[in-house]
Copies of this chain bind each other. A is one copy, B any other.
Amino acid sequence: MISKNKKKFLTSLQLKKYRILHNAFLAEGHKINHDLLNAGAVCKELYATTEWLKRNSDILPENFSDATDKELKSISNLKSAPEVIGVYEIKTVKPDVRKTGTSLILALDGIQDPGNLGTIIRTADWFGIKNIICSEDTADVYNPKVIQATMGAIARVNVSYTALESFIKNYKKETNMPVYGTFLEGENIYDKELSGKGVIVMGNEGKGIRKEIEKTVTDKLYIPNYPPEAETSESLNVATATAVICSEFRRRVLG
């Protein structure tokens, strides 16, 4: 049973200002709650159907309650009622140059669409990228639409927000690693030598990578269209471009 006040609290977490106020975010549905609980995320409250609670008795947090389909539906963003809704603590990660410098990281420069951001996190998880650094104007990772689109990957990937330009400058100075980005005048990614370490910058859906950030890029890449002379779309969607690029980096090791 979910009280009226509790319902109000839960639905308030759809909005960023209340997520910040309560330092908490919502996760809806089996997959994401299962993955978050397994990954050791701090679950403050969890509401689920009796059936779900029975089936997942081995991973339940301390503070759980049962709820009806109708109650869960009234809180949820999703079209069909989720079996479970969890409230998790937001873990504020400070990007650490020295720690991230030993691997491949993604830097997101103003990604706006929650679906794109979530899909990028899912892709990063698949290709073993553990850290994503976002500019402060990138969409909020704790937006329920983003959480949903990650399909549980948010449990395994660190996402942090920072002043991106100074982060990258500092990163370059401390680690001497390459900074990659895609540009129309970049080099054919298929032929280019790619390191297993460094930063890959992905830009805003409409405007691409900001001028200030572009200046920090050491290696400009390009995903060639086919055939090269054809009239085509101006660009790929940013989440699909991210996938193509990450795949190319990992192919050098896996292929």
Q: Which partner residue on chain B sits nearest A242 by CB separation?
A: B240
Residue pair A122, B237 in contact (C-beta under 8 Å): yes
List the 3 closest pairs (A to B, CB-CB), nearest first.
A190-B255, A240-B243, A128-B226
Q: How far is the CA of A132 from the CA of B254 in the complex (A)?
A: 30
Q: Which partner residue on chain B sits nearest A224 by CB separation?
A: B254
Residue pair B255, A191 in contact (C-beta under 8 Å): yes
Q: Which of B126, B152, B233, B253 contacts A153 (CB 8 A)?
A: B233
Q: Which residues from B are CB-within-8-Å of A152? A: 233-234
Task: Report the minimum CB–CB distance from A169 to chain B (whole Å).
Answer: 28
22 CB < 8 A contacts A-B: A115-B115, A119-B237, A122-B233, A125-B232, A126-B223, A126-B235, A126-B236, A128-B227, A128-B230, A151-B235, A153-B232, A153-B233, A188-B254, A190-B251, A223-B247, A226-B253, A228-B254, A240-B240, A243-B243, A243-B244, A244-B244, A247-B248
A127 within 8 A of B: yes
Known A-B contacts A239-B239, A240-B239; the reply to A250 vs B232 at CB < 8 A is: no
Q: Which residues from B are CB-within-8-Å of A251? A: 190
Q: Which residues from B are CB-within-8-Å of A253? A: 226
Q: How far is the CA of A127 from the CA of B255 in the complex (A)?
A: 21
Residue pair B240, A254 in contact (C-beta under 8 Å): no
